[in-house]
Amino acid sequence: MKKVTILALVLGLVLAGTTACAPKDTAKAGSASPEDVLKFLPVDSQGVFFVDIHRALQTDVANKMIQEDENYEEYLKFVEESGIDPKEDIFCAAISLSGNLAGEQDGAAVINVRYDKDTVLAMIEKKAEAEIQTAEYNGITVYSIEAKKEGIEAEEEGNEAKEDGNWAFLDASNIVVGNEKGVHSCIDVMQKTKDNVFKNEALAGVLDRADKDTIFWGALLVPKEDLAKASEGNPQLKPLQNMNALVLNFDHKNAMVTIKIKAEGDDPDSNKQIADMLNGLKAMGAMMIPPDKPELNDLLNSLTVSFGDDHVLIDVSIPDEVLQSLKNELPTKEKEEEIK
């Protein structure tokens, strides 16, 4: 994903690691509603997602994974250096994506967090492998870091190809992180020179159908032209052209992780074909699972695919013990040393 991939770098530094003219209804860190944070996102967003980070990090499974992680000492070091305890000080994030799904994209994440600006900047400067740069945008300081691109994209453009990561302190409780256009768009919304996402009637309508009581929820409009390009030369993917939007939900309750992905489409025959294709892939996957990996079979059995006249629904329910089994199978530094 071009340009937006830098979100991972800066967002990781801000989370793992002056006051602007904010709207009057912006809530302080810890008391902001989802709407308070979503109001920073621009009207031309193609996809919008909300993460209740505070609630996620309060779950037993999250606490256990953090404390048992081999990098737990780094986590504690981050808390000390940044002055931010993720479990206590990071509350939620609203994420915007826009642009061509098959090509260039712009994006930004607005993070509701209790922080000290100088401490955060000092931590990022220490952790970053490149110099922090600053620029003014409509009276707001925008910080940026250039990072080398990796993978196939870097090979295509040359090893010195760069991508930009930007962030700005919107107010005492909200930080925006993203590529340049994404950050600028959120500043425009904050300064009321651009409408917010709730003025996007098509996306807001889909977003209304998300379950907002879950830890993660969101909606994504799917342009027909993008789907047409994606299915060119592959007749099996042609039914995807009738999809209009995706509604996503992720939650954790009663020692169970649940994931729901609802693809909205207005052609019943296409919906049935997509569901049949996904169930066929599930059956093929089951045949390929080794006998000594029962946890993978449990994971696959937790997935169901159904359809209706206006949708295809992927529903996953994973017990915590299955997740723990999968985690135990992941390589660790100790296991890698044993192999060597």
Number of structural domains (the chain) is 2
Q: 37 and 86: one domain?
A: yes
Q: 15 and 110: one domain?
A: yes
Q: Is residue 217 assigned to a domain?
A: no
Among 167, 199, 231, residue at a domain's last position: 199
Output 289-293 pairs: Cβ under 8 A, ≥24 positions apart.
293/329
pLDDT digits (tens, 9 = 90+) for 152-202: 554 555 554 455 689 999 999 999 999 999 999 999 999 999 999 999 999
pLDDT of residue 291: 87
Q: 272 and 181: one domain?
A: no
CA distance 34 to 332: 37
Q: 194 and 230: one domain?
A: no
Q: 253 and 159: one domain?
A: no
Contact 138, 191 (CB under 8 A): yes
CA distance 237 to 274: 8
Q: Is residue 339 assigned to a domain?
A: no
Q: Is residue 195 assigned to a domain?
A: yes
List all residues 6 or more positions away from 244 whose beta carbon is below 8 Å from its beta carbon: 221, 222, 264, 265, 266
Q: 190 and 229: one domain?
A: no
Among 166, 199, 232, residue at a domain's last position: 199
| Domain encompassing residue 86 | 6-199
Q: Is residue 335 assigned to a domain?
A: no
Q: Is residue 324 assigned to a domain?
A: yes
pLDDT digits (tens, 9 = 90+) for 93-112: 999 998 766 667 889 999 99
pLDDT digits (tens, 9 = 90+) for 4-52: 444 444 455 444 443 333 444 455 788 889 999 999 999 999 999 999 9
Q: 191 and 249: one domain?
A: no
pLDDT of residue 308: 96
pLDDT of residue 336: 52
Q: 63 and 189: one domain?
A: yes
Average pLDDT score over the chain: 84
Which residue, 123, 311, 95, 304, is CA-closest to 203?
95
Q: 168 and 90: one domain?
A: yes
pLDDT of residue 198: 95
Q: Is residue 116 assigned to a domain?
A: yes
CA distance 260 to 247: 8
Among 137, 165, 199, residue at a domain's last position: 199
Q: 244 and 189: one domain?
A: no
Q: Is residue 207 assigned to a domain?
A: no
pLDDT digits (tens, 9 = 90+) for 230-250: 777 777 888 888 899 999 999
CA distance 121 to 106: 24
Q: 167 and 289: one domain?
A: no
Q: Is residue 39 assigned to a domain?
A: yes
Whether 205 has a pLDDT exceeding 80, the answer reads yes
Q: 185 and 254: one domain?
A: no
